[in-house]
Structure 1
Amino acid sequence: MTAANHPPVFSLQQGSLPLLISIPHVGTQIPADIAATMTPVAQRTDDCDWHLDRLYAFAARMGASILTPFNARYVIDLNRPPDGANLYPGQDTTGLLPVDTFEKEPLYLDGRLPDEAEVARRRDAYWRPYHDALTAELAELKARHGKVLLWEAHSIRSHVPRFFEGRLPDFNFGTSNGASAVAGLGEELAAIVERHGDYSAVANGRFKGGYITRQYGVPAEGVHAVQLELSQITYMQEQFPYAYDERLAVKVEPLLEELVAVALQRAKSA
Structure 2
Amino acid sequence: MTAVDDLEALDPAFEILEPEIRSSAVTFNSPHSGARYPASFLAASRLDPRALRRSEDAFVDELFTSAPSFGAPLMRAHFPRAFVDVNREPYELDPRMFDGRLPPFANTRSLRVAGGLGTIARIVGDAQEIYGARLPVEEALDRIERIYKPYHRALRRLVARAHRAHGLALLIDCHSMPSIGVSRDDRTRADIVLGDRYGAACSPAIVDFVEHELRALGLQVTRNRPYAGGYITEHYGAPATDVHALQIEINRALYMNEQTHEKHRGFEELSAKLARLVEAIATAPLGLFGALRAAAE
TM-score by length of 2: 0.78
Matches within 5 A, 1:51-90: 51-84=59-92
Which protein is bigger by CA-based radius of gyration?
Answer: 2
The aligned residue for residue 225 of structure 1 is: 245
Matched, 1:20 2:20: no
Offset, 1:115: 4.3
Q: Counterparts of 1:201 and 1:193 in 2: how far apart (Å)?
A: 7
Partners of 1:258 and 1:155 in 2: how far apart? 20
- Specify the code of the residue in structure 2 equivalent to 1:98: A
Tell me the alpha carbon deviations over residues 6-63 of structure 1, each in whole angstroms, 9 at most, x when there is no partner.
Answer: 8211101223122111100010112223222113424652221111122112212111
* Aligned AA (2:162): L
Amino acid corresponding to residue 14 of structure 1 in structure 2 = E
Q: Is the Cα contact below 8 Å between 2:196 and 2:245 reproduced in 1? A: yes
Answer with 225-234 or 88-97: which moved more: 88-97
Equivalent residue, structure 2, for 1:182: 203
Q: What does 1:161-200 align with in structure 2 at a 5 Å threshold?
A: 161=182, 165-196=186-217, 198-200=218-220
Please give the per-residue CA displacement for 1:97-154, whole angstroms capped at 9, x wherever unaligned.
1122122222112x2x334332222111111110010011111221222211100000
How far does residue 180 in structure 1 lie from its aligned partner after superposition? 1.0
The answer to whether residue 209 in structure 2 is matched with residue 202 in structure 1 is: no
Partner residue in 1 for 2:56: 48
TM-superposed deviation, 1:207: 0.7
Structure 1's 187 and 57: CA in aligned 2 closer, same or farther, altered over 3 A?
same
Which amino acid in 2 is paired with 1:20? T
Counterpart in 2 of 1:99?
Answer: 122
Q: Name the amino acid aligned to 2:230.
A: G
**Partner Cα separation in structure 2 for residue 253 and residue 46 of structure 1:** 23
Structure 2 segments unaligned to the other structure (5+ residues) = 1-7, 93-106
CA RMSD of aligned residues (A): 2.9
The letter for the 2-side match of 1:177 is Y
Aligned residues between the structures: 264
- Secondary structure of the corresponding residue to residue 45 of structure 1: helix
SS in 1 for 2:12: coil
Matched to 2:55, the amino acid is D
Mapped partners of 1:253, 1:5: distance in 2: 32
Contact kept? 1:175, 1:213, Cα under 8 Å: yes
- Which whole-Å CA distance do the structure 1 matches of 2:184 and 2:89 have between them? 19
On the 8 A contact 2:67/2:275 being kept in 1, the answer is no
Question: Which amino acid is the alignment partner of residue 242 of structure 1?
Answer: E
Matches within 5 A, 1:190-269: 190-196=211-217, 198-245=218-265, 246=267, 248-250=269-271, 252-254=273-275, 256-257=277-278, 260-261=281-282, 265=286, 266-267=288-289, 269=291
User: Normalized per residue, which structure has more strand?
Assistant: 2
Give the percent of matched residue pairs that are identical in Structure 1 and Structure 2. Answer: 24
**Unaligned 5+ residue runs, structure 1?**
none
Relative to structure 1, the CA distance from residue 72 to residue 6 in structure 2 (aligned partners, 3 Å threshold; closer, same or farther) is: closer
Contact 2:31 2:77 in 1 (8 A): yes
**Equivalent position amino acid for 2:145 in 1:** D
What amino acid maps onto 1:218 in structure 2? A
Match of 1:12, SS state, is strand
Contact 2:171 2:244 in 1 (8 A): yes
TM-score, L = length of structure 1? 0.85
One-letter amino acid matched to 2:119:
L
Is the Cα contact below 8 Å between 2:201 and 2:244 reproduced in 1?
yes
Secondary structure of the residue aligned to 1:213 is: helix
Cα distance in structure 2, aligned partners of 1:42 and 1:199: 32
Find out whether 1:114 has 2:135 as its counterpart: yes
Cα distance, 1:22–1:223 mapped onto 2, change above 3 Å: same
